[in-house]
Each structure stands twice: as structure tokens, then as C-alpha cells.
Amino acid sequence: VHRLEVTSERGPYPVLVGAGLLDEIDEVLVRHRLARPGSLVSNETVSPLYGRPAADRLALAPPIELPDGERFKRWAQVERLCAAWLEGGLTRRDLVVAVGGGVVTDLVGFAAAVYLRGIDWVAVPTTLLAMVDASVGGKTGVNLDQGKNLVGAFWPPRLVAADVAALASLDERQLRAGMAEVIKAAWLGDPSLLDLVEAWHAAPRVFGAQRWSELVARSVAVKVEVVEADERESGRRQALNLGHTLGHALEAATGYHRFVHGEAVAWGLRAVIRISVERGLLGPAAAARLDAATTWIEPLPPLGEVTPEVVLEHLVRDKKRDLEGVRWVLPTDDGVLLDQRVMADEVRRVLRQLATA
Ligand SMILES: NC(=O)c1ccc[n+]([C@@H]2O[C@H](COP(=O)([O-])OP(=O)(O)OC[C@H]3O[C@@H](n4cnc5c(N)ncnc54)[C@H](O)[C@@H]3O)[C@@H](O)[C@H]2O)c1
Ligand SMILES: [Zn+2]
């Protein structure tokens, strides 16, 4: 089991990564002095696979099962959880355990942040994206009609337990999409992690638990390094937006239907690679390496009829300002540059190149 320690304004917490953690979740909590009365929350899909067995093992009541899907990451579910917790007599000294993907960990973490002004929680991420990204860093929240993650809190968990064995049941498309964040992490702080992603791509079926654990732990380590440098997102944390400026616009421009998040990020990475090459920030070898990595998670839904104008509209709308105010993260030979401006013509040109490539 890999163990990383994250420092946060609420105190340090460990991130454990390994195969089989769910099978010994009771002992894991005992070892971390988190064996307390509590409530386990999962969703309809994940609960039968991992939530219910974990609740049994922890001798907790059966899980509260949220509906599955990003569209349920909403206030209404927070209210429902808090009401159920009150009903169940959950006190401020008790514990909430969230078992699921990023939707579950974001929502449950947020409910934990506001329930009785804050209760401890444990994240048990079950998607690759939640393991390497959503469950680490302390951000929790829900969506509004006006946009994603507009209501939230910094409320780090007391423990993150990422059981890579859970990835075996994950939909392949979700797995590949999560790998986009691993590629991003590699570029931000651990370039040779790309070798491991390449090994997965070359032979996914023989990519064993040990290598999965290493892949997740090294990605987490990069996020931890970035987040610790800047918990409240003023500077360095922006680096995590590599590939995301355009990625978010692509998702929004297609009504969040066409692309899974990581797929849009992969297109976003391809775009900033090209912009950096044109600006002389990224040499041919580095550009080829990073660009190749985005092909390892193919097939990606094509850009197709997504027009540059619609994407530009969403780039600006998202930030509520003109394009000049949108700051991009651009890849360089040894990392990233923050706060870069990209003009509309560059965006149009790159999108056309990508659509016809
Ligand atoms: N807090 C943060 O810092 C942060 C960072 C990145 C993303 N996020 C959030 O994470 C969310 C996306 O998370 P996600 O990609 O994990 O999506 P998700 O939670 O919707 O999970 C994807 C799908 O996989 C299913 N699933 C989960 N684990 C499974 C397993 N082991 N086996 C089979 N099926 C499984 C889920 O039920 C769901 O249908 C978004 O809401 C995003 O805003 C938060
Ligand atoms: Zn992302």
C-alpha cells in the first residue's frame, strides 16, 4: 500500500493507494483512529458492488444510495443526506464514509462540510478520476443551474482510501477518460509517469494491481504537491487547469453530452500543445511525446460539427469576461506556464487543425 500525507488547513490526512483496501476497510479505519459510529453513502451503481459490502464490514447501517449521475450533484441531495443523518442520530463526533466516483465524493464531502457545521468524512474513490483528482485537495461542492461546482467548501477528508481493485468494474470509457488526468499530472510534475501510462496502453490486460497502484499514487503525489503549494487556488493550483480551459468550453458547447470530462480534456491538451509549439514554448520531442499520450486514450469523440465560434462563446461565458481575461495554462518542455493569453484567432486556427487532423 502506498501512503501519501497531505497537509491542509484542517490538518494532515493520509491518502492510501492499494489493491484490496475495501476488503479491509474496517481495519484501515481502526488503524487511523476513525472507527466511529457513522453513515456510509454511495450511489445506486456503486453501492451493490462496494458500498454495501463496506457498510457490512464496518457494521454500519446499509448505505444511503444516491441516484447515479452528474445531474444529481445538487442541493436537493445534500438536503436529503443531512435529513437522513439527523434522522439516524449522526452527531458531530461521528463519521461519514463516501464510496463512489467524483460525483459521490464531491457531494458527500460538501454535505459533511455543512452538516452540523462540519463532520469528519472519509473518501473511498472508485473511479480513476476520483482517485487521482476529485478526492484529493479538499474541494467539495455541488452544481447549480448556472454551472458546475458553483457552490462548495474546502473540507478535506480525514482519510482517502483508493482501492485500485475497484477499477476492474469501471466502464472502459470512464477509465480512459480518467487517464487524461494522469497524463496531465505527469506533465505537471512526473514526466516519466508517461512511461507507465504507455505500458498500460500497450497491454492493458496485463497491467497488474501493483502497477495500477503506482500509477495512481504517482498521480496523487503530483496533485498533492500542487495543492499543498496553494490550497486556496491563487497561483500554482491553476496548473491543474492544463488542458481544461478549452476542455470545459468543449463540454459546455456540446451540452455535456458528447464528451466525458477527460475526453474533452484530451482535446484541450492537444490544443495547448499546438499553441505552445507555435509559440516556441514546446520543442518537437516534448510535443510529440505529450501528443502521443493523448492518442493512448482513444477513441475520443471527434470534434465534428463543434464550431470554433460556439467554443469561443463558451470560453468567454464560463469566465464572464472577454477572451483577454481568460488565462490559459500552456505546456513547456519542462512543465507549464500559467496566466497565458490566447487570442480568438489562435483558438479558431487550432480547432480547425484539430478537426481536420
Ligand atoms: N473536488 C475536486 O477537486 C474534483 C476534481 C475533479 C473532478 N471533480 C468532480 O468529479 C466528478 C466526476 O467524477 P467521476 O469521473 O468519478 O464521475 P462519476 O462519479 O459520475 O462516476 C462515473 C460513473 O462510474 C460509476 N462508477 C464509479 N465507480 C465505479 C466502479 N468502481 N465500477 C463501476 N462503476 C463505477 C458511477 O456510478 C458513474 O456512473 C465531477 O462532478 C467533477 O466536478 C471534482
Ligand atoms: Zn479535470
pLDDT in tens, 275-307: 999 999 999 999 999 999 999 999 999 998 899
Q: Which ligand is nearest to the CA of 180?
A: 2
- List the catalytic residues: 117, 139, 181, 223, 233, 237, 241, 244, 248, 261
Residue 62 CB partners (closer than 8 Å, separation 6+): 52, 55
Mean pLDDT to the nearest integer, 49-69: 98
Mean pLDDT to the nearest integer, 34-52: 98
Pairing, β 159-163 against β 2-6 = unpaired
Mean pLDDT to the nearest integer, 233-253: 91
- What integer pLDDT is reported at residue 305 of this predicted model? 84
- For ligand 1, whether the C-beta of 73 sits within 6 Å is yes
- For ligand 1, whether the C-beta of 51 sits within 6 Å is no
- For ligand 1, whether the C-beta of 106 sits within 6 Å is yes
Mean pLDDT to the nearest integer, 151-158: 97
pLDDT in tens, 255-266: 999 999 999 999
DSSP string, 202-237: H-GGG--HHHHHHHHHHHHHHHHHHHHH-TTSSSGG
Is 60 exceeded by the pLDDT of residue 318?
A: no
The per-residue b/e assignment along 186-208, b for 16 or more CB within 10 angstroms, e otherwise, is: bbbbbeebbebbeebbeeeeebe
- What integer pLDDT is reported at residue 349 of this predicted model? 96
158 within 8 A of 8, measured Cβ to Cβ: no
199 pLDDT tier (thresholds 50, 70, 90): very high
- What integer pLDDT is reported at residue 317 of this predicted model? 76
User: Ligand 1, from 15, 66, 77, 127: best to mutate by most atoms within 8 Å of Cβ?
Assistant: 127
- What integer pLDDT is reported at residue 212 of this predicted model? 98
Q: Which ligand is nearest to the CA of 102?
A: 1
Point out the ligand 1 atom lying closest to the alpha carbon of residue 73: 41
CA of 69 to the centre of ligand 2 (A): 16
User: Ligand 1, from 46, 132, 176: best to mutate by most atoms within 8 Å of Cβ?
Assistant: 46
CA of 125 to the centre of ligand 1 (A): 8
Mean pLDDT to the nearest integer, 160-180: 98
pLDDT in tens, 95-124: 999 999 999 999 999 999 999 999 999 999
- Three-class SS of 23-87: HHHHHHHHHCCCCCCEEEEEECCHHHHHHHHHHHHCCCCCCEEECCCHHHCCHHHHHHHHHHHHH
